[in-house]
Chains A and B, each alone.
Chain A
Amino acid sequence: MSQWTLFEVFIRSKHGLNHKHVGSVHAADAEMAIENARELYTRRNEGVSIWVTPSAQITATASDEKEALFDPSEDKVYRHASFYELPEEVGHM
């Protein structure tokens, strides 16, 4: 157990198009991680597909990079489609 790997679990629900992160499980390998994920996260009929990946394989942003990475987009309203006025002739897009 102490040597087990932490895996992140992604489930695609019946009506969802994409897999969503739901949590993590410990397991000896990927195959066992799938089974453990099935036991923990699909007990109430939640899923039709499971992905697992070792947590260590995920590269994540660091919290101290938050300002540099995400704040600059705050004042750039022109990046949203709603910023632009559509000519009448275009109609609904």
Chain B
Amino acid sequence: MQKYDDLTEFVLRMGDSALIQAQRLCEWTGKAPALEEELALMNVGLDLVGQARNWLDYAAELIGDGTDADALAYRRDERNYRNVLMVEQPNGDFAVTMLKQFLYDVWQFHMLSKLRESKDDRVAAIATKSLKEVTYHLRRSSDWIKRLGDGTEESHQRMVKAIDDVWRFTYDFLQLTEQENALIDSQVIGDVRDVAAQWQTKVNAVFVASTLTVPKPAEPFYLNSREGVHSECLGALLAEMQYLQRAHPNASW
């Protein structure tokens, strides 16, 4: 596994999370429950691809060995991806998809809000631009959690099952590493130490309003996204996403 300096690692974490979430959303193309919903999902996906591009452009500059955002996206192995575990999980049904989106949106929203105050200009600029989009993403996904949780008997059951399926990956949103704490102390990035508490507060509020039970905080287990130890589904996702550049390096049109 390749290790970069603290800031690069952090920028990759933000960018990779957006990229993998976008790639999962793309899987709904042609299969969404309604035409309107399909467009909405793809719009969110496109926003996230844009955000990933901004983060990975910056990461490539920080790495400074001639790499670029495309190479980072299409030529990196699973062990070098830094995305949060939630976004790589399979889409499941619409309840799982919206739940993953919601849990990620809450994290993004609070992270970006704080990152606007970063001393690092690029991080602050990307956060400021992305936050407008994410504010809307969160509004939409919160709305869906309430509709499904407090909807019909079946939609409620599906939400309960969805929470059961993916809750265990949420510990990833609650922890900061020593390196991230160092970036906060030196004010290179904004103080995101409160994000874990803010994440829990927001998720609790929406779950309660949706008649859903809030599980106990998830405990870490052997997966570690910062060390590139992902769940097995990331490899399959990357195999599909990277196929063209792997089979035909530098192909372009």
Contact = CB atoms under 8 A, between A and B. Distances in A.
A35 B34 contact: no
A25 B36 CA distance: 7
Interface string B28-71: 00000111110110010000000000000000000000000000
A4 B36 CA distance: 11
A13 interface: no
Contacts of A4: 34
B132 to A, nearest CB: 13
A24 to B, nearest CB: 10
A75 interface: no
B143 interface: yes
B34 A32 contact: no
A27 B43 CA distance: 17
Contacts of A35: 40, 139-140, 143
The interface centre, meaning the residue of A25, A31, A35 with most chain B CB atoms within 10 A of its CB, is A35
Nearest to B42: A39
Interface size class of B (residues with CB under 8 A): 10 to 19
Interface string A31-55: 1100110011001000000000000
A1 B34 contact: yes
A31 B143 CA distance: 9
Given A1-B33, A4-B34, A26-B34, A40 B39 contact: yes
A6 B37 CA distance: 14
Nearest to A40: B39
Contact of A36 (B33, B40, B139, B147): B40
Contact of B143 (A32, A40, A43): A32
Nearest to B144: A32
Given A28-B147, A35-B143, A43 B33 contact: no
Contacts of B139: 35
A39 B39 contact: yes
A31 B43 CA distance: 18
A39 B40 contact: yes
Interface in A1-34: 1, 4, 25-28, 31-32
Contacts of B35: 26
Nearest to B40: A39
5 closest A-B pairs (Cβ-Cβ)?
Answer: A36-B36, A39-B40, A39-B39, A1-B34, A25-B36
